[in-house]
Amino acid sequence: MARQGERMAMGEAGPGSVPSHARPGRPARAMRDRLGRECVYVPSCRLGMYAALRHWCPPGGRVLMSPVNDDVIFFVVLAAGLRPVQAPLKPWDASLDLDAVPEGTWGSLSAVLTTNLYGNPDPAPGLRARCDALGIPLFEDAAHAIGGEVGGRPVGTWGDASFFSLSKHVGAHAGGILAVADPGVRDLLAQACEDLLAPRRTTAELAYAVRPYAEAAVRGLGLRRAAWAVLRRLGTAEREEIRMPLRPEALARAVAAAPGLDAHDPWVRVDMHDYRRRGGRFRLARVARHLDRLDEVLAACRAGTELLLATDWAYARYADRPPAARPLFRVPLLVADRDAAAAALARRGIVVGYLYDPPLDDYAGADFTDPSPAPEAARWFARHALPVDPLRAREAIAALEEAGVRPAEPFAAAGARGERSSPGGPGPARG
């Protein structure tokens, strides 16, 4: 019954009535073949994450996570009735610094949530060992890391559950995948996701259908303000700054009502109002078509990443070991003045998004999260990271060279203690 309910919820009306390319089972099977795990197609990465957190974690549990992360993910953790605990990070790629987490923190946790920021993997093998020793689940947010590897295995195959976005590398602007290690919980989580879904709306499906053409038209004419207005109109961008307004009094009321998505919907839906909306045939067909081209996109991302890693701004200059060439979703160049560098790219029509500044503990404060015990590295990275699309690597390099953009000075903990990130300016849809 769970599998039948999932088919109906996700837009599959029954055997033979919907073309195979427009059924949610096809994306799930494609990801199962990549990961070797049972998968569930969901309308968004954030919905699958919420369902998994609710399944494995008791209300009031504490979840270790990265402070350099999308604020939507922070609000998903709060919506699940959990307390975010911000982790110390490596300064060059914002991966979780396993050895810098205090021993006392480990014993207080109910789960660990990785970020794999821009596709650079968190230390999943070590985290898996820690979680096994503590008897707690490991969750992998692999939204930026499809096609990546760590420890000789694909990102997303270390956790009890992992979450993939089909809006990033896949480029479908819709859909996500919830993958699970235990096949026995697959149907249970599929039903949990089905129970969270809102009815499909014809207007939402129409807006999704026309979005790529509307964006392409205004951008092709060089109308950046119009493009931004289109994104706002379609509910895919609604921020004035990098971080959305916290609204602490309203958030405190929502937290008091947790767990539950409804009270947190004003925060969780930002940049994706259809995050829990049932997908129609057009949406599912587009997802399937884009998935068919994923390997081609990953190859191009890998090639662009290699070009960007060879520059003077590459985070490879700061790392304790050379990073592997991965198909990154964005390559975080480390620049002295990020805002000036972003402006130089904007003059070439390259919009910088997926900025996560300031870190979540500076953004939300101790009322809503446990702060990192060593926040300086996260602040330094958030201030200096310039996420560049590897598919536009050559154009970006030319623009930065022409503007004389300088690389950031190497991180030094003592000198960074007084440095706090700034809120920055607006950007496109976030992770």
H helices present in 310-388, as ranges: 338-346, 360-364, 376-384
Closest CA to 82 of 135, 137, 156: 137
Tokens read off for 38: 């049972």
Query: Cα separation of 280 and 240, whole Å?
Result: 31
Closest CA to 143 of 126, 155, 153, 127: 155
pLDDT, tens digit only, all 431 positions of the chain: 333 333 333 333 344 444 444 456 889 999 999 999 999 999 999 999 999 999 999 999 999 999 999 999 999 999 999 999 999 999 999 999 999 999 999 999 999 999 999 999 999 999 999 999 999 999 999 999 999 999 999 999 999 999 999 999 988 787 999 999 999 999 999 999 999 998 766 555 445 444 554 444 444 545 455 555 555 555 555 677 899 999 999 999 999 999 999 999 999 999 898 899 887 787 788 888 889 999 999 999 999 999 999 999 998 777 767 777 799 999 999 999 999 999 999 999 999 999 999 999 999 999 999 999 999 999 999 999 999 999 999 999 999 999 999 999 999 864 554 455 554 444 444 33
> 83-86 and 62-65 as β-strands: parallel, antiparallel, unpaired?
parallel
Q: Which pLDDT value is given to residue 315?
A: 86
Closest CA to 286 of 178, 170, 391: 170
Peptide bond into 259 cis (omega under 30): yes
Region label for 293, one of left (φ > 0), alpha (ψ between -120 and 50) or beta (otherwise): alpha
* Residue 397, number of CB atoms within 10 A of its CB: 18
User: Which residues does 399 contact at the CB level (< 8 Å), separation at least 6?
Assistant: 344, 345, 347, 348, 350
Q: Which pLDDT value is given to residue 324?
A: 77
Q: Which pLDDT value is given to residue 419?
A: 55
Centroid of chain to Cα 287: 18
